[in-house]
């Protein structure tokens, strides 16, 4: 069991990927399993960022930096306070993941949800009440830099059942912390 920091160090996991891959679903499952806080990255966006995305305009790096700083700081604090914390965040580029980690002040583990464009578009089209329009999918895919081998990341097939993905992340984290 990972909760409480198995080897005494805080654990922070970021479930990442483009919009519509299931980050929030998997993040909540992991947090529930570990009795840990779940931080929904979308709630850390400024009102201006949300309005921009609702209007179909992609965010710039200047829009993203304060958001990543807020989320990273909150994730680091939650992990230090409770031993483990989970967040959902697109974290599309290496620079964004590095910014999150710097703001968190501790090493982050990234669970990268990936699947084909058609499946993501189908999921985005079926969502009700989300500010991210399907028209921004191609912008997100163009921005995406999949984690490199040197990053602390696990690539997952987002087409698999959330429970199976949860077990996969748990095994990966536990193996790395043993």
User: Which has the higher per-residue pLDDT, 156 or 118?
Assistant: 156
169 to each of 90, 143, 150, 162, 166, how far by Cα in Å?
A: 17, 24, 18, 10, 5
The rounded radius of gyration (Å) of the Cα atoms in the chain is 15
CA 106 – CA 12 distance, rounded (Å): 8
For 101-122, give one letter per residue: b (16+ CB within 10 A) or e: bebbeeebbbbbbbbeeeebee
CA 130 – CA 166 distance, rounded (Å): 24
For the stretch 55-105, pLDDT in tens is 888 889 999 999 999 999 999 999 999 999 999 998 999 999 999 999 999
| Model confidence band, residue 1 (pLDDT cutoffs 50, 70, 90) | very low
* Per-residue pLDDT at 133: 56
Handedness of CA 47, 111, 166, 169 (dihedral sign): negative
- Beta carbons within 8 Å of 162's beta carbon, 6+ residues apart: 22, 25, 26, 29
Token representation of residue 150: 């040197």
CA 156 – CA 167 distance, rounded (Å): 11
Token representation of residue 56: 């179909």
Residue 177 CB coordination number (10 Å)? 14
Total count of residues recorded for the chain = 178
CA 150 – CA 83 distance, rounded (Å): 25
User: Which has the higher per-residue pLDDT, 108 or 126?
Assistant: 108
For the stretch 117-132, pLDDT in tens is 676 666 656 656 555 5
Spell out the domains of the chain, with CATH numbers in brackets.
Answer: 32-44+60-177 (3.40.50.300)
């Amino acid at each position: 069991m990972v909760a409480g920091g198995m080897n005494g160090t805080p654990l922070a996991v970021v479930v990442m990927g483009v919009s519509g891959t299931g980050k929030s679903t998997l993040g909540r499952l992991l947090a529930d399993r570990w009795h840990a806080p779940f931080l929904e990255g979308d709630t850390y966006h400024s009102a201006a960022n949300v309005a921009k995305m609702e209007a179909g305009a992609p965010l710039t790096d200047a829009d993203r930096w304060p958001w990543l700083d807020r989320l990273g700081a909150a994730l680091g604090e939650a992990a230090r306070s409770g031993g483990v914390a989970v967040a959902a965040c697109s974290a599309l580029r290496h620079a964004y993941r590095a910014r999150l980690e710097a703001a968190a002040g501790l090493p982050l583990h990234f669970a990268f949800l990936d699947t084909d464009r058609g499946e993501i578009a189908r999921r985005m089209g079926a969502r009700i009440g989300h500010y991210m329009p399907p028209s921004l999918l191609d912008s997100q895919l163009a921005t995406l830099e999949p984690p490199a081998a040197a990053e602390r990341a696990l690539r997952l097939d987002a087409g698999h059942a959330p429970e199976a993905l949860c077990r996969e992340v748990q095994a990966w984290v536990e193996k790395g912390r043993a």
